[in-house]
C-alpha cells in the first residue's frame, strides 16, 4: 500500500514531525506486520528519525548542519543559491525504513519521524509512504 503525505513548510530550514501522518497511512493500510518506507521527494529535503520529547534536539540538528554545511560557499550556489540545501539533504538522506509491529510503528518512546526541510518555505513537500506486509 502506498500513499503520498503532503506537507507545507514555513521556514527555510526546519524539522517537521510527520509521525501522525505516517501512522494514519499505516492504519489505512490494514497491515499489521512488515515495513514502512518513508521517502522525501525532492533534492533539498530529507527524512530523519529523531528525539520527540525536547524540541531543542531538532533545533540542534539544524544548527549543527548549518555549521558543517554553511550557506553561500558552494559551486551550486551560482545556479540558484541552495547548494547547502542539496548537501544537507544528501548527508541526512531521503528515506527511513521503520518496522511495523502489530499495527504500530516500531519506534521507541522517544523517537518520531521528521521531514527535514532545507530549502523552504515550500507550499508542498511530498513524502511517499509505502507499507509492505511480511510474507
For residues 34 and 132, is the Cβ–Cβ distance under 8 A?
Answer: yes
CA separation for the pair 130, 11 (Å, rounded): 27
C-alpha cell at 51: 528525539
pLDDT digit string, tens, across residues 40-74: 999 999 999 999 898 899 999 999 999 999 999 99
β-bridge mates for residue 100, sequence order = 34, 105
Tell me, what's the pLDDT at 28?
A: 97
Tell me, what's the pLDDT at 52?
A: 86
Superfamily of domain 2-133: YjbQ-like (2.60.120.460)
Longest dimension (CA), the chain: 50
Quickly tell me which residue has 511530498 as its cell.
126
β-bridge mates for residue 16, sequence order = 115
C-alpha cell at 60: 540542534
Tell me, what's the pLDDT at 127?
A: 98
Q: pTM score, two decimals?
A: 0.95
Is pLDDT at 135 greater than 80 in this prediction? no
Quickly tell me which residue has 558543517 as its cell.
68
C-alpha cell at 27: 492504519
Tell me, what's the pLDDT at 99?
A: 98
Share of the chain above pLDDT 90, in %: 93
C-alpha cell at 85: 540545501
Q: Once rounded to an integer, what is the mean pLDDT over residues 94-118?
A: 97
For residues 35 and 97, is the Cβ–Cβ distance under 8 A?
Answer: yes
Domain ranges of the chain: 2-133
For residues 47 and 96, is the Cβ–Cβ distance under 8 A?
Answer: yes
Tell me, what's the pLDDT at 21?
A: 98
Q: What is the mean pLDDT of the chain?
A: 96
Amino acid at each position: 500500500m502506498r500513499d503520498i503525505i503532503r506537507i507545507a513548510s514555513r521556514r527555510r530550514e526546519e524539522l517537521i514531525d510527520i509521525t501522525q501522518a505516517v501512522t494514519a497511512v499505516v492504519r489505512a493500510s490494514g497491515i499489521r506486520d512488515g515495513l514502512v518506507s518513508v521517502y522525501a521527494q525532492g533534492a533539498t529535503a530529507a527524512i530523519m528519525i529523531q528525539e520527540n520529547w525536547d524540541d531543542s534536539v531538532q533545533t540542534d540538528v539544524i544548527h549543527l548542519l548549518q555549521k558543517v554545511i554553511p550557506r553561500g560557499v558552494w559551486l551550486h550556489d551560482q545556479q540558484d543559491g541552495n547548494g547547502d540545501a542539496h548537501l544537507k539533504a544528501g548527508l541526512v538522506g531521503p528515506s527511513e525504513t521503520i518496522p511495523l509491529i502489530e499495527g504500530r510503528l516500531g519506534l521507541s518512546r522517544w523517537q518520531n519521524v521528521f521531514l527535514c526541510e532545507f530549502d523552504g518555505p515550500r507550499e508542498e513537500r511530498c513524502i511517499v509512504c509505502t507499507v509492505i506486509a511480511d510474507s
